[in-house]
Structure 1
Amino acid sequence: MTGMKIDMDYLIGQLKTLLSIDSPTGYTDSIVRYCTEELERLGLKPELTRRGAIRAVRQGSRRSGARSVVAHLDTLGAQVKLVKANGRLELVPIGSWSSRFAEGARANIYAEDAIVRGSILPLKASGHTYNNEVDTQPVDWTNLEMRIDALTTSVEETRALGIDVGDIVAIDPQPEFLDNGFIVSRHLDDKAGAAITLATVEALERAEARTPVDIHFLFTIAEEVGVGATSIVAPEVASMVTVDNGTTAPGQNSSEFGVTIAMADQTGPFDYHLTKKLVELCREHEIDFQKDVFRFYRSDSASAVEAGHDVRTSLVAFGIDASHGYERIHEHALESIARLLTIYVTSPLEIQRDVEEISDVEGFTEQPMAERDEE
């Protein structure tokens, strides 16, 4: 496996720090501040949108036809739907995730003027009381409640703590970094992607690498609710590589090792030419890879195209076991993707007409076509 040397101590250190910062969609200011400061420390000059999406441009030989690398900082979480008569909280999810993974979670409640700890429990949580009913109650968010770690048994006492409808609930990640390279935690989607992206920037800066076009490193804050890269993509960007998770599950081809290159998600195929280039770079530089297609998946690439950005899109993924649950990845995939990104952003620009938003057919791309007999 070739490519720039990736500082894995830096990458893993960044992942640990990112996981320690609560950032469910809608509550991302702290992680945005951290990433902005880290990008500045690495030598870039990040810009922020009003809500906090980050664009950090690393200058190349040309501004137009720029490439972008995007990861998202927001995670799954929950929100207070109702303060119940018993003082506990009814919750609704932030993002799409099953209530079965919420059961037993420890969490922070971000109230208006306080941070309060609590546990998410099924309504029938005590086997000594409900016997087999603890196993037969339906899996649904309406069958959960949040027990607050404070003296409260009524609506009035809970509200006296500053807790009310709409408060954000951030789920503890509970990370474990094992000596054999496996990493187990919630929220690896997509804090591992953000750590990979920061490690890519660090490697480029350390090597004083030159790129043929500007590289826009983007960090979005609302991917988990479907609107990630809607308003952060600049007009000069021609191609976008999203860094996010792949799903290692029966019927899928993703792996916790190497790079998983997504060929399509629920919004359709990714760009033929950009995806083909990434595959060829993996082969040329002996980076382990596999291809996959995701049926129930969307990413920052999808939100960018749906928002009207005319960019070539692709997705490189680190395989996650139990995605949107208690997730597991391996360091090998993180390093493999970071190496591929350093190779990609420094590689020649093959489609020269991409420097223009609109042009004629001269230089337009070609795809292989089968010859058909004329009748």
Structure 2
Amino acid sequence: MTYQSNSKETLELIKKLVSIPSPSGNTEKVICFVEDFFKKIGVETYRNRKGGLIATIKGKDDTKHRMLTAHVDTLGAMVKEIKNNGRLRLDLIGGFAWNSIEGEYCEIETAEGKVYTGTILMHQQSVHVYKDAKTAERNQQNMEVRIDEKVTNAEEVRALGIEVGDFVSFDPRVQITDSGYIKSRHLDDKASVGILMNLIKHITRNNIELPYTTHFLISNNEEIGYGGNSNIPPETVEYLAVDMGAIGDGQSTDEYTVSICVKDGSGPYHYKLRKRLVELAKQNQVQYKLDIYPYYGSDASAAIRSGHDIVHGLIGPGIDSSHAFERTHISSIQNTEKLLYHYLLSNMID
């Protein structure tokens, strides 16, 4: 059975997802968005206690299950300190470099739900004032948030309702180009969430029966290491994380194919499942690349570390400049969708 991808619809869905602030620890708004999407297409869901969302489609065989996961939580920050100059010192959420957020617009959300805008800058920003503006280290000590309010000291900042522990999210700056690229922060992993959402919509609208009962976990703590390590039904045999493929020197991943990860920082992924994914790609003219990510972990590796007896794998679209200003192409999204579709309709490995 062939799969006709509506990838432009997927791109628009990804655009909506990345535009919803959701740093790890503060993902309620985006989970509600996904939950509402599934409700409209008639897919049953429930939430786990960590706040993640699980959608289930019953298959022909209900004795063996599959689970696929993608995560909506993103990189972000928290207010670490309200400085005497009326600016904010940050503590990072997730693994990224300080220089990747220099000059970025941001939002500060208070515990009461009020949102203020700001810009993340070096304290020594002005080259007309600071001799070391170009050379000073980009780190927690030197970087701060300039709030777009008339504040000059800590007391005035606190009067706005801003306090230590408030979440800070980064402007995604999302764009879809005429040449087929989508560039934005947080394509890791909202690109894959959008792919799964649109794929589930296709399956339900066309009344496609899956061979096995399949669960889709939209996890919300992956960036901090434990999003997909629980709520795995005991019937689950195969567990596939749908995340990003990282691009760089020595990598085979690109922005135009689906990446099949063979190994990351947690070790090799299940060999038989990897070979099945490659076989399905070849059989269905899916363009793919095999790759290794030495400084990477996924919800699937978190599930293995937590002791689940499962077969685990990892695929995803190729994302350039991961954990910074990310970009991928519609062809990578198409290839990822196509491989996932054929995987969902395939038999489990022996």
Q: Is the 8 A contact 2:266 2:297 kept in 1?
A: yes
- CA apart distance, 1:74: 0.2
C-alpha displacement at 1:262, in angstroms? 0.3
Q: CA deviation at 1:260?
A: 0.8
Q: Partner of 1:154 in structure 2? A: 153
Aligned twin of 2:119: 119
TM-score, with length taken from structure 1:
0.91
Determine the C-alpha separation between the residues in 2 that align with 1:282 and 1:308: 30
Deviation by residue 1:66-107 (Cα, 9 ceiling, x = unmatched): 111110000000111101111110001100110001101111
Q: One-letter code of the match for 1:252?
A: Q
Q: How does 1:71-86 map to 2 (within 5 A)?
A: 71-86=70-85
- Shift, 1:350, TM fit: 4.1
Q: Which residue of 2 aligns with 1:137?
A: 136
Match of 1:195 in 2: 194
Q: Secondary structure at the match of 1:290?
A: strand
2:260 touches 2:315 (CA, 8 Å); kept in 1? yes
Deviation string 1:310-341 (CA, Å, 9 cap, x unpaired) is 11111112111110001111111111111111
| 2:178 corresponds to | 179
On the 8 A contact 1:25/1:75 being kept in 2, the answer is yes
Percent of counterpart pairs with the same letter? 35
Write the distance in 1 (CA, Å) between the matches of 2:263 and 2:11: 29
Question: Shift of residue 203 of structure 1?
Answer: 1.8
SS at match of 1:60: coil
Q: Which residue of structure 2 aligns with residue 249 of structure 1?
A: 248
**Cα deviation per residue 1:174-209 (whole Å; 9 max; x = unaligned)?**
011001111111111000010011111022123221
* Aligned residue runs from structure 1 range 230-245, under 5 A: 230-245=229-244
Q: Distance in 1 between matches of 2:48 and 2:331?
A: 33
Aligned to 2:299: 300
Aligned partners of 1:228 and 1:51: how far apart in 2?
8
The alpha-carbon distance between structure 1 residues 31 and 101, as it changes in their structure 2 partners (threshold 3 A), is same
- Is the Cα contact below 8 Å between 2:276 and 2:349 reproduced in 1? no
Q: Is the 8 A contact 1:108 1:118 kept in 2?
A: yes
CA distance in 2, matches of 1:10, 1:94: 30
CA contact (8 A) 1:322 1:328 kept: yes
Q: Contact 1:89–1:146 at 8 Å: present in 2 too?
A: yes
Worse-matched range after superposition: 160-169 or 50-59: 50-59
- How far apart, CA to CA, are the structure 2 residues paired with 1:296 and 1:58? 33
Query: How far apart are the structure 2 equivalents of 1:290 and 1:349?
Result: 22
CA distance in 2, matches of 1:210, 1:340: 17
CA contact (8 A) 1:212 1:349 kept: no
CA contact 2:245–2:259 (8 Å) conserved in 1 = yes
Between the aligned partners of 2:86 and 2:39, the Cα distance in structure 1 is 44
Point out the structure with max Rg over C-alpha: 1
Say if 2:70 and 2:241, in contact at 8 Å, map to a contact too: yes
Structure 1 counterpart of 2:69: 70
AA matched with 2:16: T
Give a deviation string over 1:9-29, Cα, whole Å, max 9, x none. 321121111011100001100
> 2:182·2:327 contact (CA, 8 Å) conserved in 1?
yes
Aligned-partner SS, 1:189:
helix
The CA RMSD measured in Å over matched residues stands at 1.1
Q: CA deviation at 1:347?
A: 1.0
Superposed displacement of residue 349, structure 1: 3.0
Question: Does the 8 Å contact 2:219/2:227 carry over to 1?
Answer: yes
What is the rounded CA distance, in whole Å, between the counterparts of 2:231 and 2:171 in structure 1? 29
2:210 is paired with a residue whose SS is: coil
| Equivalent AA in structure 1 for residue 332 of structure 2 | A
Q: Does 1:259 align with 2:232?
A: no
- Contiguous gaps of at least 5 residues in structure 2: none
Partner of 1:95: 94
- In the other structure, the counterpart of 1:287 is 286
Extract unaligned runs of 5+ from structure 1. 352-375
In 2: Cα distance, 1:342 partner to 1:251 partner: 29
State how 1:312-351 maps to structure 2 within 5 Å: 312-351=311-350
The Cα shift of 1:64 comes to: 2.2
Distance 1:342 1:3 in 2: 9
Amino acid at match of 1:32: I
Measured in 2, the distance between the counterparts of 1:106 and 1:342 equals 37
Aligned partners of 2:90 and 2:222: how far apart in 1?
20
- Report the 3-state secondary structure (helix = DSSP H, G, I; strand = E; otherwise coil) of the residue aligned with 2:128: helix
TM-score for both structures, normalised by structure 2: 0.97
Correspondence for 2:270: 271
Corresponding residue of 1:371: none
Q: Does structure 1 residue 49 correspond to structure 2 residue 34?
A: no
